[in-house]
Amino acid sequence: MKVISYNVNGIRAAINKGFLDWLKTEAPDVICLQEIKALHEQIPLMDFEALGYHHFWFPAQKKGYSGTALLSRIQPDNVVYGINLPQYDNEGRFLRADFGELSVVSIYHPSGSSGDERQAFKMQWLSDFQDYVLNLRKERPNLILSGDYNICHQAIDIHDPVRNATVSGFLPEEREWMTGFLEQGFIDSFRQLNKAPHNYSWWSYRANARANNKGWRIDYHMLSENLLPALKSASILPDVKHSDHCPVVVELAD
């Protein structure tokens, strides 16, 4: 199974930049999208059906903001929208699909970059998200948690760790949370297989950051530890440019 996660920074904008042609060529079994920024009626659903995808959309209540989606070639057995906490579900941050014993989740962690209030919201989300996932794992032990986590875990994951040490997305408490989350029995699939620096999934639109590869690795496929024997490959596709993020890929053996 080939699973892609991609923060598209607006599905309509991505489509205008050739997203559908790329999706047809790349042909993942499942693709998890974040920051769709669109309501159902604003999305060309038939175009996704024409490519052979079942599609599930979890937009935010606020127009033009946040939201997740999950597209799959296989019909899921079950789809669950949200985590039963309205403050997060109103922003469309967690969308799960079950395929037999495997569950794939599209996740969009909040950003704290707009100020203290949203940073506090982000930290509360991280705590509530972890509690929810640990409980979910008791029922659904085979988890692929794919999405934009809005956190660089280690210095290797960011182009300038010194200057960004006090910036949301690389704060000590965020990095500590991610360490603790992984210690609960999850795997950063990319770092499991690739220890090289200069691998990023998001670049600022400012100062020619992408051309100079001054980026952040904030998009992940986190796997429950029991899926490690099935992990075949994990990669980042920085040359795909429909967004300020790029897709990240994980492949699991059947």
In tens, the pLDDT along 186-226 reads 999 999 999 999 999 999 999 999 999 999 999 999 999 99
Indicate the Cα dihedral angle 226, 94, 15, 52, nearest 10°.
60
The CATH number for 2-252, chosen from 3.90.550.10, 3.60.10.10, 3.50.50.60, 3.40.50.2300, is 3.60.10.10
Report which DSSP code applies to 76. Answer: P
Residue 254 has pLDDT above 90, yes or no: no
**pTM check: above 0.85:** yes
Structure confidence by residue, pLDDT tens digits, 135-180: 999 999 999 999 999 999 999 999 999 999 999 999 999 999 999 9
Tally Cβ neighbours within 10 Å of residue 137: 19
Backbone dihedral region for residue 68 (phi beyond 0: left; psi -120 to 50: alpha; all else: beta): beta
Domain positions in the chain are 2-252
148 catalytic? Reply is: yes
| pLDDT tens per residue across span 23-57 | 999 999 999 999 999 999 999 999 999 999 999 99
**pLDDT given for residue 14 in this prediction:** 98
Q: Provide the percentage of residues in the chain whose pLDDT is more than 70.
A: 100
Mean of the per-residue pLDDT values of the chain: 98
What angle, rounded to 10 degrees, do the helices at 172-183 and 116-139 form? Answer: 0
Amino acid present at 5: S
Residues 148, 157, 188, 219: which is the catalytic one? 148
State the Cα–Cα distance between residues 141 and 29, nearest whole angstrom: 20
